Amino acid sequence: MGIPNDTVAQHELDKAGRDRDVRDREEARRRRLERSLEQGLEDTFPASDPINVTQPPPTVGDRKKR
């Protein structure tokens, strides 16, 4: 017994939606990173040292503040 066509079509639509969601999240993450980099460059101009966009992991003290 095969899979009904409407189920296959719905599966493909669901998959396309998930793929689009993943691309959208990745694009949003990339934009946030780009904004952080731009802000860091503006805040440090005309410094000679490059900025670091990455954040250190939260410490135990940071977790208690929440």
Please return the burial class of 51, using the count of CB atoms within 10 Å of its CB with bins 0-12, 13-18 and 19+. Answer: middle
pLDDT digit string, tens, across residues 9-55? 677 777 777 888 888 999 999 999 999 888 887 877 666 666 677 77
What is the maximum span of the chain, computed from C-alpha positions, in angstroms? 69
Whole-model pTM over 0.95: no
